[in-house]
Structure 1
Amino acid sequence: MQVIDDLKALWPLRDFRKLFAVRLVSQCGDGMFQVGLATLFFFSPEKASTAVGVATAFAVLLLPFTIVGPWAGVLLDRWRRRQVLLYGNLTRVVVTSVIALVMVTQGATPLVYVLALVNLSINRFLLAALSASLPRVVDGPLLLTANSLTPTLGTAASVAGGGIGFLLGMVLPTGRVRDASALVLAAAVMACAAALAARIGRDRLGPEARADAAQLRAALGTLARGLVAGARHLVERRTPARALGIMAVHRFLYGVVFIASLLISRNLLSDPLDANAGLATFASVLGASGVGFFAAVILTPVVTPKVGPHTWIVLCLTLAAVSQAVLVAWYSLPVILVAAAALGLAAQGAKIAVDTIVQRDTDDAFRGRAFAIYDVLYNAAFVGAAALAAALLPDTGYSRALFAALAAGYAAGAVVYGAASRRTPARVELERQAV
């Protein structure tokens, strides 16, 4: 199996193993935490059963991430990324524990929502640090392999953590103690991630040049200019800017599909009054997406070396278009599961290629800012998708016209990106590959 062969190739890299362990454990804890939030925000009987309610909840959760992103870029280019992984996870342990305490003593108060936003914002910061750190422990042809494995298996770890949280919720009696128990377990897993990060050398993950306190304050004070410089660098390098642009489009369209799937699971394929049945249906849709993610980790390392990352992105967008075109005619659960698996393959396959392009074609001094901009675009696109879903989706989540538009959007993205990639001079592309 290709994934096993890829792991065997990467396994001799000691620092890769350490960073990989941090990602798996950290994302497992995050999956536990997010399942608790999903139950609270979307699958409580009194919560978010309408398109506007679901879209609003997503906007509230994701808007702070677009604010965190730019600051993350400045810090990741100046702070030791290993320290970010260590202290970021420790901070999440404290925040999650406080949320658990508030849940036991007071219930789901506004403070829970505020602390949840803080926790999720820190997680996005950690994911950016993990991505920016990867080229420090893997280089050459193995970087594509690492990019194929680490995000996808990290997502699998998150799904596994979510499954543990879901099962825990089914076993324990309903009430505040059950909610707090899942959070306490998530905090324990985050503490393990911090301990694993401590095994990595303080300077191993870069960056090469770091700033003292005065320089850091100056950098934060000139944040806008730093981001502009990072964006200018990406544009000058051409391929990373184009890759980020198509990923933003992909994420926007995917966000609309995700919210539609949640509403279809809750209000069309299940009794709207039975929140547990809706959650179970949506879990099956997420499971199908997970199958697509795993398919991406197997196919991407096999196909990309033969056709190149740009062509692979075009193929993924084409597959996404087909997955949505099918839903124009049918919306039964089996059809939706097949479409979810295909879209999961397309989304993860494209993301692996984009990650590789951005990491390969961006100088290390700008890499933290590149992934911060990536993070902003990634989440802002989903917020935009939430706004569109609130305006256009019925509460059942199903609209033939909207799914037709989504299919057309993916197809247009494939055509435009493919044409732009073909216009890139061969000399420029060879220079990028040599970096």
Structure 2
Amino acid sequence: MCLGVLRNREFRRLWVAATIDSFGSWLLVMAVPLHVFALTGSAMSTGLALAVQALPTVVIGPWAGVVVDRWRRKNVLVVANVVAACAVALMLLATTSDRAAVIYVGLVVENVAICFLRPAVAAATPAVVGRGTDLAAANALSAFTGSAFRMLGPLVGTFLVAGGWFEVVVVMDVTSYLVAAALITRVAVDRARPPIRTATAGAATRGLRYIGRTPLLRGLLATNCLYWTANAALTALLIPFVATRLHSSGRALGYLVAGLGAGYLCGSAISKALIARYPTRAILTAAYASVGVCFLVMFTATALPIALVAVTASGVPGAVAQVVIGYRLQVSTPDAVLGRVSAAFYTSDSVAAVTGAVAGPAVVALIGLGAALNAFSAAVLATAVLAFAVVPVVSGEGLVGRGNAEGEAAGATV
């Protein structure tokens, strides 16, 4: 499982910090909507909790990319982790329904920090390990450990919240951010060249302009946006699905999210081998089609075991798709704009998350829960068709480590 990259001391420190950070974040990912649902009893409030998590990136994501490309990336990582810890700590005040708004405030501030944190990690990784086979291995390993916590974190978080221990979950997440910040202070992050001090006007859109000139990145962005819009809608409907279709408790929700994490774990483990053998278009087309079929099975199920098997199976191709996209983004983008290109992708993800979180409950109000679940599952299937249509096959794909960023980007324009 790509463990050779851990011989790189700087990556090892960065990876450990990101792993600890990931565990804390996954503890809260479903615990917060579940706690809000328990306080308010409103399905719309859970969708709002999911939308609020994504909204800050929509507003400031591109500018965060400028900061990542201009400032020392280690400093960005440390400050972002500390700010996120302080924001999450605010949620300790949300003990009654009339204080639920405090959770939304904490989510907004936390996700402002994450706007800087996520592209900074993506940009720092190639600087630490290079852009050859070690980069694919680093991404696969990070996805593997992230998937382990995707499996364990929500399960532990939902069990604690179901038992009335939301405050414990919050304290664990705060601690994870602070420990990650302390570890990152010991990471040496070099750059391929000094930061380019472009004029402020247009600086935030430079990443988008680069994506627009690169067919591979354009195709990845389009398919990723559609996929995450449908995915976010289904996530917003997951709690009502568990309650009304499966007639189960919050613990069943934890089982489903843990099953998804188990699938992601397996998908992350095989992703590097797939990157080395197959073109991106073929991988994404097959992955999105597989996820769509699994979602259709899951959301038409009325028994927890069937839903659990389906969601676990969906995690395998889901993880493969995300590792492939992350790797192709990094090797197809020069270091000078890597922060902004990464931020553009994260901004797109957040736009999709907000759109899906709002659209999910709205479509339910129009056509009912069952029809809405089927419609959004079909939208994931449509992503496979879109991937086949808009993602080009790049010369040299399937040969990990061949070419540098500029070379692959040039090849993408053929």
TM-score, with normalisation over the residues of structure 1? 0.83
Structure 1 Cα separation of the partners of residues 216 and 208 of structure 2? 12
Contact kept, 8 Å, 2:299 with 2:374, in 1: the verdict is yes
Q: 1:125 aligns with which of 116, 129, 143?
A: 116
The one-character-per-residue Cα deviations of 1:38-62 (angstroms, maximum 9, x if unpaired) are 33223x05332x3x44333322332
Counterparts of 1:324 and 1:188, CA distance in 2 = 35
Secondary structure at the counterpart of residue 356 of structure 1: helix
Aligned residue identity for 1:137: V
Query: Which amino acid is the alignment partner of residue 384 of structure 2?
Result: A
Choose which of 35, 41, 63 in structure 2 pairs with 1:47: 41
1:17 paired with 2:12, answer: yes
In structure 1, C-alpha distance between the alignment counterparts of 2:101 and 2:124, rounded to whole Å: 35
> Which of these residues, 66, 70, 83, is aligned with residue 58 of structure 2?
66
**Is 1:385 matched with 2:353?**
no
Residues 242 and 335 of structure 1: CA distance in aligned 2, closer, same or farther (over 3 Å): same
Contact 1:30 1:123 in 2 (8 A): no
Please state how far the C-alpha of 1:170 moved relative to its aligned partner.
6.1
Residue 226 of structure 1 aligns to a residue whose secondary structure is coil
Name the counterpart of 1:187.
174
Moved more, 353-362 or 126-135: 126-135
Q: 1:367 to 1:113 in 2, by over 3 A?
A: same
Matched, 1:154 2:113: no
Q: In structure 2, how many angstroms separate the alpha carbons of the residues matched to 1:233 and 1:369?
A: 9
1:164 positional shift: 4.4
**TM-aligned CA distance change 1:21 to 1:427, over 3 Å:** closer
CA distance in 2, matches of 1:107, 1:194: 33
CA distance in 2, matches of 1:229, 1:182: 39
Q: Give the direction of change, closer, same or farther, for the CA distance of 1:131–1:369 in structure 2 (3 Å limit).
A: same
Q: Deviations over 1:86-139 (max 9, x none)?
A: 122222333334443x35799835344212320133134212211121111223
> Contact 1:136–1:206 at 8 Å: present in 2 too?
yes
Please identify, of 88-97 and 9-18, the stretch whose mean Cα deviation from structure 2 is larger.
Answer: 88-97
Query: 2:211 matched to 1:241?
Result: no
Counterpart of 1:332 in structure 2: which amino acid? A
Q: Is the 8 A contact 2:195 2:336 kept in 1?
A: no
SS of 2:203's partner is helix
Conservation of the 8 A alpha-carbon contact between 1:292 and 1:345: yes
Q: What's the offset of the Cα at 1:403? A: 4.5
Q: Distance in 1 between matches of 2:154 and 2:298?
A: 27
The code of the aligned residue for 1:200 comes to V
Contact 1:261 1:397 in 2 (8 A): no
Q: Does 1:411 align with 2:381?
A: yes
**Shift of residue 344 of structure 1?**
1.9
Deviation readout 1:167-202 (Å, 9 max, x if unpaired): 55566xx4xxx443432333222221111101112x
Deviates further, 59-68 or 379-388: 59-68
Distance verdict in 2 for CA 1:388–1:15, change over 3 Å:
same
Return 5+ residue gaps in structure 1 as ranges.
271-276
Equivalent pairs, count: 403
* Superposition deviation, residue 155 in structure 1: 4.0
Residues 256-267 of structure 1 correspond to what in structure 2 (within 5 A)?
A: 256-267=233-244
d(CA) in 2 for partners of 1:112 and 1:257?
22
CA contact (8 A) 1:288 1:337 kept: yes
Letter in 2 for 1:209: P
The amino acid across from 1:136 in the alignment is: A
Q: Which sections of structure 2, spanning at least 5 residues, go unmatched?
A: 409-414
Asked whether the 8 Å contact 1:77–1:207 carries over to 2, the reply is no
Match among 313, 325, 339 for residue 310 of structure 2: 339
Which amino acid is the alignment partner of residue 47 of structure 1? G
Q: Out of 372-381 and 299-308, give the one that drifted further.
A: 299-308
**2: CA distance, partners of 1:159 / 1:35:** 12
**Contact 2:289/2:384 (8 A) holds in 1:** yes
Q: Cα distance, 1:414 vs. partner?
A: 1.9
Q: Distance in 2 between matches of 1:35 and 1:251?
A: 17
Change (3 A) 1:57 1:235: same
Instruction: Find the aligned partners of 1:356 and 1:19 in 2 and give their Cα distance.
Output: 17
Higher-Rg structure is 1
Q: Tell me the distance in 1 between the aligned counterparts of 2:84 and 2:252.
A: 30
TM-score (norm 2): 0.86
Distance in 2, Cα, partners of 1:405 & 1:110: 31
CA contact (8 A) 2:160 2:166 kept: no
Query: Does 2:22 match 1:27?
Result: yes
For residue 110 of structure 1, what is the aligned residue in structure 2? 101
Per-residue deviation, 1:77: 0.6
In 2, Cα distance between the equivalents of 1:283 and 1:404? 22
> Residue 300 of structure 1 aligns with which residue?
271
Contact 1:84 1:126 in 2 (8 A): yes
Aligned with 2:187: secondary structure? coil
Paired with 1:33 and 1:282, the residues of 2 have a C-alpha distance of 13
Q: For residues 62 and 105 of structure 1, what CA distance do their matches in structure 2 show?
A: 24
